Amino acid sequence: MYIGVDFLIDSGLNLHLSEVNTGVPGGASEYDLIQRVKYGQPSGVFDRISALSEKHFGKDFYSYINSLPYIDDLRSLKIWMDGEGPLPRNPAPALRLEDKWIQYLLLSDDHAMIPTKIYDRKDEQELELRLNQGHTLVIKKRLGRGGKGFRVIEDTSELNKLDLEENFYLIQPYIESQIGMYKLSLRVLAFLGEYICMFANLAPRLTSNHGFRFDISPGDVLRLSDEDFKTKRIVQKAWEADIFYKGNIPDYLYENVYIEDIAEAELILPRTIHEEVKKTAASISRFYMGLDLNSLPKSYIEE
């Protein structure tokens, strides 16, 4: 399975698995642009992905993705997450893997995932106790992307002001994944159980998604190679979006899939973390490939 795995790193340099995206998650396009900006030549990542697809399925990656029996449902689900279309009528079981609660149930026993609960107003006293003890919390959607619906909660009165759909929101401790003034996350790609590539997102706002894209190199300490870094804006259609939407990319996604800000610097990642994220992404890809999707717990949209 082709997946994009997102990681956070806290102030103690502990790695946290945040979420896993399926279908044709972004990552390869950004990685390739980073290599072109830094080294002036293509990365070869698309050729590697295509070669794996040809070897295992006897078809190119575009044909493989669009031959998946659930791809139309997944496309509809992603557009629904963006608030731009209806849900699929009879969602395929594969869509259960997009539900972050199900991801937690599947992966938390073996991976350092952020402790997660389904938000329930009846738990307000427990949440208030945790907040009073100095634990900042976040609330996020079970099915969402792009940081929509993500909120930091420091007081239960903030929760009371929100109109939260029953059973649809997750509550987690806030992980301060940050370097300098920037929020930090890692995107790591894996396909057919093999690590493909990684890059870092840095952004001067609450969530790091679609921020400045950084190359990653292993080193001794977590740092930027240049704290006064420059960026280069690239306008180019994303390879993933062209495949996933069969060339008919929705207009509302233009900025997300055409515009990238590439840093002319790199994130230095401690070697142990660098190796761990590669192994974890490959392991999850293999694990997902072996799942009986019909036996998974039902997702929110099926309940």
pTM: 0.95
pLDDT, tens digit, for every residue of 200-218? 999 998 777 789 999 999 9
pLDDT, tens digit, for every residue of 94-135? 999 999 999 999 999 999 999 999 998 887 777 777 777 778
Task: Please tell me the predicted confidence (pLDDT) of residue 207.
Answer: 78
pLDDT, tens digit, for every residue of 49-58? 999 999 999 9
pLDDT, tens digit, for every residue of 287-303? 999 999 999 999 999 98
- Measured over all CA atoms, what is the biggest interatomic distance in the chain, rounded to whole angstroms? 57
Sign of CA dihedral 170, 173, 177, 182: positive
Dist CA 253 CA 256 (whole Å) = 5
Which residues have C-beta within 8 Å of that of residue 39, sequence separation ≥ 6? none
The half-sphere exposure of 256 on its side-chain side, counting CA atoms within 13 A, is 16
Q: What is the mean pLDDT of residues 146-151?
A: 87
Identify which of 191, 248, 243, 226 has the alpha carbon closest to the alpha carbon of residue 45.
Answer: 191
Dist CA 48 CA 239 (whole Å) = 14
Lowest mean pLDDT segment, chosen from 101-115, 161-175, 279-293: 161-175
Confidence of residue 140 (pLDDT cuts 50, 70, 90): very high
Identify which of 149, 156, 116 has the alpha carbon closest to the alpha carbon of residue 133.
Answer: 156
pLDDT for 154 beyond 90:
no
Residue 173 phi, psi dihedral angles, 5° rounding:
-70, 145
Number of Cβ within 10 Å of residue 78's Cβ equals: 24
Q: What average pLDDT is seen over the chain?
A: 94
Which residues have C-beta within 8 Å of that of residue 202, sequence separation ≥ 6? 179, 182, 183, 184, 208, 211, 212, 214, 263, 267
Instruction: Please give the share of the chain, as a percent, with pLDDT higher than 70.
Output: 100
pLDDT, tens digit, for every residue of 40-91? 999 999 999 999 999 999 999 999 999 999 999 999 999 999 999 999 999 9
Q: What is the mean pLDDT of residues 25-40?
A: 96
Q: What is the mean pLDDT of residues 157-185?
A: 89
Identify which of 147, 217, 155, 219 has the alpha carbon closest to the alpha carbon of residue 183.
Answer: 147
